Every structure is written in structure tokens, then in C-alpha cells.
Amino acid sequence: MDYKQYISSKLNIEGVSESDVMSFIETPPNTEMGDYALPCFKLSKIMHASPVQIAENLKSAFSCDDIISECNAVNGYLNFKVNRNGFARSVLSEVISKGDKYGASDIGSGKTVCVEYSSINIAKPFHIGHLLTTVIGSSLYKIYKFLGYNAVAINHLGDYGTQFGKLIVAYKKWSSEKQVLEGRLKELSRIYVKFHEEAKIHPELDDEARRYFKLIEDGDKESNELFLMFKKITLEEVEKIYKLLNVSFDSYAGESFYSDKMAPIVEELKEKKLLKNSDGASIVDLEEFGMPPCLILKSDGSSLYATRDLAAAIYRKKTYDFYKSLYVVAYQQNLHFKQFFKVLELMGKEWAKDCVHVAYGMVSLESGAMSTREGNVVLLEDVINKTIEKAYKVIEEKNPNLENKEKTARAVGTGAVIFSALQNNKIKDIVFSYDKVLSFEGETCPYVQYTVARCNSLLSKVGEPKDYNDKDLTIEEYEVINQLSKFKDAIIYASEKYEPSAVTRYALDLATLFNKFYINCKIAGEDENTKNLRLSIVKSVKITLTNALRLLGIETVEVM
């Protein structure tokens, strides 16, 4: 039952479409006032009357029924109460019958959304700075799919540039196939760092690096084989982390994929008279728009980061015909995205408006401790493993007899890392604290996972819910059911604002209301009717929290 739709269809206000009325209807935070409210000031202009007057008039014209049991005009608001028994029945039966599809919809059907995220750099360590792009992007991808969009997950690999020439030089001078295959990313980092040290004293190394990069570009066999080995090793290493985080991609087309797709774009820029010469380099002047120029070609004719992004954007439009194309990239790159979106617009690509930079803040560790060991970077893998280890210790303390301790520790540990990254508004910088994210009290992942385990244990001890007859609801029962009904809204909000945190927030609120219900409402030992209603609530909460966590990439555990 869509109450907002039902109420707006019954209101039938002249001069205002039903869908507009529907979008004005709110759910008041305090359910004592009503379950839905129409703020009449939104209608003042159209209806030429005061909100108080409008509310009064609408109220007299409104007739209550089996679905809406009360309608009151209060201070310019029109408040509605729904028939709670009918409401409870419709919500609980919808959740239980839809199960793992509860909250899903088809509002995205026929529309493609490209979500670019993670976009790691080949041969560079996967550090904590990649956490947010990876989990925000992955969650948005899952959310869009759940809403029926055709979502495409893209990892725009950083696999192009002179640094690969440098690596080849370094490899030839100070490493070997054996060392690289054994030492993997650590070995690649080591020789990369060494290259920079040596190049300070022997600047001719830089020329050699440029020569090797040119060889890669020109299709030289040996250079390409080495480059592919570096790429393979990097992908194998990050794949492990993606697996832990339940992250996946449909395309790994990185920067090098666009090597042969840039020339026509440079041509197009020339034809459209957008290219200017600046000391031999080719730029698009953006002064008029208050931005520095966008660099397209260096004076030696080689392409730049922005050139590849232009090619990638155009390729994605051609290949996927997207409705929206998202770039989940740190806010440090704000200017880059503004510039290249502007260039697309100047090129006459009307779809430039559908490209969105989904910017996010920075992550740092509360204890800088780990950063010393790895040079200057904190490896994401180390953070996840340490969180899993700590989760294992907590389990040993709290529940030493638990079966499958390792599996549980993995779900709790990785869940805690993901959840804490998705907990706040994405633009906020976050400080990661092992103890905070693993706490069972407060707004944490273990708290939500524990709530699911609690539901599970109730269902296995007391039994699965059976049918019940309507009964007056307690406030705690009602509030859980009311929160259950808002799941779809939370997911849609998350998709519209690119904010998985709306789903995190939702899960925390549902867990909190459920635990209040759990403390105040007995289940076993109650009369059959009450027991079955309450078991239906328990089951619905379990389903909904599991679905919410799945959209974030987090697993639940049966027992904890």
C-alpha cells in the first residue's frame, strides 16, 4: 500500500497534480501527530489562501475510511493517521512475502547508470585512501541494481603514463621476474621508490623511462609483456581485497584502453575551434568560466589525464547510452571534473549534464602507528586484517563457544570497516578507530549484525510466525513497523543523492527501534495472537536489515 499515493488521490486538489501533492506529503518524526502530513504552506501560492485556511478547507472535504482513520488540521498542516491494523498487516505481509527482494523496485528499468569507482593505479599499493571510493561506489552500484537500473561498474585503472616506463627501467636494473613474482606489489613499490632516488642523481634515467613508455605505446613486445605482468600482479592483489569487501566490476577498461581513442577527439576539438596553442601545448581555455585551462596535449604531442577522461566519457556514452554516468572520486579532483565536464559541454555533448562527480572526503587512522612500517602508506589490506583479528578477539571474549568463529570474525571485521566508511555523509573526512568500529554499543556494524543474530535466535527458539488476528498495537510495535515501511524511501533517497549513508542510517534506526521493542514486548509466553504478530515483526526486521546490509556489501551472521 502506498499511503502517500492513496492520500493524494483522495485529496484531489484543483490546479495541483496528484504527483506534486504526493511529493509534498511528509512523514512527521513524531508519530503522535500523525503518520503522514501535508504542509499546506506549499499550496499557499497556488491556492491563494493561508496555510491554516487551506488545511481547514481540505479537512472538511476529506472523508476518512478503512485505510485512513483520522484527518486533522493543525497549524497549517493536514495530519493523517492510518488505520494501524491494516497498515501493520500490509507492511508485514509485504516484507515477508518479498523476502530478499523487499525494498527492490523497477523505477530504474530501461535506464543505464555507469558507476565508476575504485579506479586504482597499477603497480601502486592499494591504500586506505581507496577505501571510500571502493565501498561508496560498490554500494551505489548495488543500490541501482536493486532499483531496477541497468548498472555498469567500471574500474578506470590508472595504467597509463611514464611511470610504467620508470618501472621497466627499474625492473631491468634492480629486479628480476623471480623477485617480482615473489615480492609482488611490495617489490614493485620498492623498485619504483629506488628509481626516484636514483633519478635524482642520474637524471638520464628519466629519458630512458620516457623511451620505454613510448615503446609500450608503440606495441613493443618485451615492454608490453613486462607491463602486463605488473598489471596482472596488481589486479591479483586487489582482487583479494575486492573479494573481502564483496566488490565487483563489469569493466576494467582503464586509461590505456583509450590510447587509440583520443586522436579523433583531439580532431573534434580542433574542428570545433576549442583548441588553443599555449607554449606548444594544446589547451581548452576556460577562463571565461573561472577555471584554469584544460590541458589536452603536451608540447611533445602526448595526451594527458583529462584527454583520456574525455575519451572515456564519450566511449561510455556510445557503448552504454547511459542515463547517468557517475565518477566516485575524492574531492581533491573537483577541479579536474569541473573542467572536463565543461569541455564536453563546449563540444556540444548535451549529455555532459548527466555526468556526475560523486566526491567524498578523506580517511585517516586514529593511531598513525601503522603508517611507519609501510613507508608512508597504510595498506587497506592491513587495516581490514587487523580489524578481523580484533573482531576475533572480541568474539573469543564474549562468546568463546561460538562455532565458525573465523567466518564470523571475517563478516564482523570487514563489515565494521565498510559500515564505518559508509556511516557519515560522504563528503566528511573520517578518522578510523579500530575500537569504535568494533564496539557492540553505539552506532556500529556489530550492533546491527547482532540485532539480526538476535532475530534469528528468536525465530529458531520460539518458532516461525503464523497468521494472527488484528490487535491494538503497542507504540513499540507500531514504531518498528512504521520504520520497516520506510525502507524503499531510504534506498531511493540514497540513489538520488548518491548517499549510501542513508541506508546505513536507516539500518541503525531500525535496529534501535527493534531493540526498544525487544526490551518492552515479550514474545515467548504471550498469547498465540500476540506471539505471532511479534514473530512477524522479528522476521520482517531480520529480512529488512539483511537486505540493507547487503546493499552496503556487508554480510550477516546467523549467530554471534
8 A C-beta contact, residue 361 and residue 427: yes
Q: Which is nearer to ligand ARG, 43 or 114 (CB)?
A: 114
Report in angstroms how near the CB of residue 469 gets to ligand ARG at its nearest: 57
By CB under 6 A, tell whether 327 contacts ligand ARG: yes
What does each C-alpha distance from 55 to 68, 74, 352 come to in angstroms? 17, 8, 43
* Dihedral pair phi/psi, residue 62, rounded to 5°: -90, 130
Q: Which is nearer to ligand ARG, 329 or 523 (CB)?
A: 329
63 CB burial (10 A radius; 0-12, 13-18, 19+):
exposed
By CB under 6 A, tell whether 125 contacts ligand ARG: no
Sign of CA dihedral 124, 128, 130, 134: positive
| Residues 523-552 as x/- pattern, contact with ligand ARG by CB under 6 A | ------------------------------
Q: Which is nearer to ligand ARG, 130 or 550 (CB)?
A: 130
Rounded Cα–Cα distance for residues 132 and 383 (Å): 13
Q: Which is nearer to ligand ARG, 5 or 162 (CB)?
A: 162
Report in angstroms how near the CB of residue 294 gets to ligand ARG at its nearest: 13
Radius of gyration of the chain (CA): 28
Indicate the helix (H) or strand (E) that contains 41: helix 41-47
Report in angstroms how near the CB of residue 337 gets to ligand ARG at its nearest: 8
| Residues 176-215 as x/- pattern, contact with ligand ARG by CB under 6 A | ----------------------------------------
Selected binder of ligand ARG within 5, 72, 121, 179 (CB under 6 A): 121
Q: Which three cell numbers stand for residue 155?
A: 574500474
For the residues of 460-495, what is the DSSP string, one character each? HHH---------PPPHHHHHHHHHHHTHHHHHHHHH
Length of the chain as a residue count: 560
8 A C-beta contact, residue 71 and residue 40: no
8 A C-beta contact, residue 487 and residue 102: yes
Closest-by-Cβ residue to ligand ARG is 158
Residue 50, Cα to own-chain centre: how many angstroms? 42
User: In 99-176, which ranges are continuous DSSP H helix?
Assistant: 131-146, 162-174
Report in angstroms how near the CB of residue 256 gets to ligand ARG at its nearest: 12
Report in angstroms how near the CB of residue 380 gets to ligand ARG at its nearest: 13
Q: Which is nearer to ligand ARG, 283 or 329 (CB)?
A: 329
Selected binder of ligand ARG within 329, 358, 473, 551 (CB under 6 A): 329
Selected binder of ligand ARG within 237, 309, 381, 499 (CB under 6 A): 309
Indicate the helix (H) or strand (E) that contains 152: strand 150-154
Stretch of 30-38, 116-124, 189-197, 212-220 lying at the interface with ligand ARG (CB under 6 A): 116-124
What is residue 150's three-state secondary structure? strand
Selected binder of ligand ARG within 90, 119, 246, 282 (CB under 6 A): 119
Selected binder of ligand ARG within 125, 158, 165, 553 (CB under 6 A): 158
Q: Which is nearer to ligand ARG, 34 or 165 (CB)?
A: 165
Query: In the sheet that 281-284 helps form, which strands lie side by side, from edge to edge?
Result: 275-278, 281-284, 294-297
Stretch of 114-122, 145-153, 343-351, 367-375 lying at the interface with ligand ARG (CB under 6 A): 114-122
Q: Which three cell numbers stand for residue 100?
A: 530478499
By CB under 6 A, tell whether 162 contacts ligand ARG: no
Q: Which is nearer to ligand ARG, 355 or 411 (CB)?
A: 355
Q: Which is nearer to ligand ARG, 121 or 512 (CB)?
A: 121
Pairing of strands 112-116, 430-432: unpaired
Report in angstroms how near the CB of residue 275 gets to ligand ARG at its nearest: 21
Q: Which is nearer to ligand ARG, 262 or 329 (CB)?
A: 329
Q: Which is nearer to ligand ARG, 155 or 444 (CB)?
A: 155
Nearest residue to 427 (alpha-carbon basis) of 509, 342, 334:
334
* Dihedral pair phi/psi, residue 513, rounded to 5°: -65, -40
Number of residues lying near ligand ARG (CB under 6 A): 8
Rounded Cα–Cα distance for residues 443 and 418 (Å): 13
Q: Which is nearer to ligand ARG, 266 or 313 (CB)?
A: 313
By CB under 6 A, tell whether 159 contacts ligand ARG: no
Q: Which is nearer to ligand ARG, 156 or 410 (CB)?
A: 156
8 A C-beta contact, residue 338 and residue 291: yes
Report in angstroms how near the CB of residue 178 gets to ligand ARG at its nearest: 29
Selected binder of ligand ARG within 84, 142, 156, 390 (CB under 6 A): 156
Which value, to the nearest 10 degrees, does the dihedral of the CA atoms of residues 534, 536, 539, 543 take?
Answer: -130
Which residues of this chain interact with ligand ARG, rule CB under 6 A?
116, 119, 121, 156, 158, 309, 327, 329
